[in-house]
Each structure stands twice: as structure tokens, then as C-alpha cells.
Amino acid sequence: MLQSLTVPLEHYQEAADAIRQRTTRQPTVGLILGSGLGTLVEEIANPDVIPYTEIPHWPRSTVQGHAGRLVIGELEGKTVLAMQGRSHFYEGYPMAVVTLPVRVMRLLGIDTLIVTNAAGGLNPNFRAGDIMVIEDHINLVAMAGNGPLLGPNLGVFGPRFSINTHIYNPRLRKLAHKVAQERGITLREGVYVALAGPAFETPAEVRMLRSWGGDSVGMSTAHEVLVAYHAGMRILGFSSITNLSLDSTEAHEEVSHEEVLRLGREIVPRLAQVLRGVLAELPPFDPAEVENQPEA
Ligand code: HPA
């Protein structure tokens, strides 16, 4: 597939304009919901719903379990724009296209991004069904040359060289733990490793990623978050641990997409409670908490 690495500024603007024409709401919080977790959006009251196919330049999700629509409405007193389903690099889209929705959110005035993903558990203390707050990430895809910020920098979003020391907002992580504790829900915390996929890891790769400090592993999120943080958004991320990564060729279990979806659904009610609690108590956005500012 030969496609341009970059997306021109007009494409982001045209997508944002198309969304503005379909809603009178002014969302401030973006939600990206991963495999099996799309049902969370059913909790959004009286939503404006826009199928991805009706937004110019918007990548379509081709994966089972990803619905492919934007849902804009009120949740816990906040106006949210939720992506029910996301596209992935492994579907064949360039990273700039996969992450186009995040920049469109920014143009719409969204300052807070909450991301969820389905992930394998690398940390041997984790169990399938756990929820992990993302403390930091290792973006192996970007490190290997497929980052979402390659090519000419669009300074209206952020700087050429973005700073990534505090991507996952400490205040929001703390808030997630507080609301979970109040509801009797256990949350883990750790480092998310992003791979290109779509092949699952081999046992040798699992051992390597664990020894490098990874706690969960998946095929999304890190590039979305890089683009969001570049554009000055604050971020909170969660991994749903849908399976434990197998670290031995002697293992007899198997990881299947169906099982990932099933456990994703099992986790939804708990994750929904945490997300609602975070939204209800979300502190006002403070630009000083984000290290990157637009160049222009
Ligand atoms: N590896 C990568 N991605 C995943 C996994 C996994 O084990 N489970 C769900 N998404």
C-alpha cells in the first residue's frame, strides 16, 4: 500500500467541520474505546451519533467488535465525544491517518483524552480481567520508525520535538485510583507496550517485553496518546487485561480474538464505573500540566 505518511491540515479541518455540522454540543472530553468496550457509550444520554463513514478523511475500523461511530453527548455532567471503535496501524493505515481523530478532537476544543484498550498482561502478578491504569508507555512501533509525528510538523498543533515525560496525567491517575477504591474496584498500574500487530507476541517476545519493563501489551493507544500530548491535551489511559501473555513455548492455553472480546465485556461494568467516577470529579483543565504548546 502506497499512501502519504502525512495528512494535510485541511483534512483535519474538513473532518472537524463535518462534525460541527452534526452537533450543537461543545465536547471537552474525548473517549477512545477499544475492543469489546464500545458498549460503554450506551451510557451516554440523548447522543448525537455520527457514523465514521459520514466524516471526510476519517479512518474506518475493519475489525470485529469495533462499531465505527462517534457518539457525542452528556456523561456525568461532562460533554463527551466518544469513539466507539478505532482503527489500527495493522489494518494498513499510515499512523497519521490512524491518529487523525485525535487532532480533530483538538480542533473541536477537546482538552482531555481518555483512552482504553484491550491488552495482554505481561506482569506475572496480573490476572485476566484486571484493569490497569497506564502510568507510561513503550512505543516500539514509533521507536522502530513508524511514529505518528513523522514528516513536516504542523505547528498549529504542537512543537517539532514534543516532550513526553509526563504523558499520562498524574492528577487524573490518582483520581482514577481514588474513585475505584471508593467503589471497591481494584486497579493495577503499569507500563503499556505498543506493538504493530496483528500477530500476537511469541513467548520469547513476551519475556523480552517483560524484562524491558512492560506490564501490558497491545496494538493501539500509544500513537494516539503521542499525538494528543503533542497537541497539548491531558491524558488518562486504561488497559483491560483480557488475557495473560504466554511466556513459554510449553504453554497449552491459547489467545483468541473471541476470548479478548469476551473478557473485554466482562470488564466493562467495572471500567464504566471508574470512568463515570473520573468524569464526575474531573478537575478543570490546566494547560500548565501539559508540557507541549503550539509553535505558532
Ligand atoms: N497482545 C497484544 N494485543 C492484545 C493482546 C495480547 O496478548 N490481548 C489483547 N490485545
| Domains recognised in the chain with CATH numbers | 2-283 (3.40.50.1580)
Report d(CA 256, CA 216) in Å as an integer.
17
- Nearest-5° Cα angle at 239, 278 to 196: 135
Global pTM reads 0.93
Residue type, 123: N
pLDDT digits (tens, 9 = 90+) for 53-99: 999 999 987 766 556 889 999 999 999 999 988 889 998 899 999 99
Given the residues 15, 35, 95, 105, select the one marked as catalytic.
Answer: 35
Are 71 and 45 spatial neighbours (Cβ–Cβ below 8 Å)?
A: no
Least Cα distance to 195 among 205, 203, 185 occurs for 205
pLDDT digits (tens, 9 = 90+) for 201-253: 999 999 999 999 999 999 999 999 999 999 999 999 999 998 888 888 887 77
Give the binding-site residues of ligand 1, using a 6 Å CB cut-off.
118-120, 200-201, 217-219, 242-243, 245, 255, 260
| 296 pLDDT tier (thresholds 50, 70, 90) | low
Section 17-42 average pLDDT: 86
Tell me whether residue 118 is one of the annotated catalytic residues.
yes
Q: Which of 193, 245, 254 to mutate to test the pocket of ligand 1 (most atoms within 8 A of CB)?
A: 245
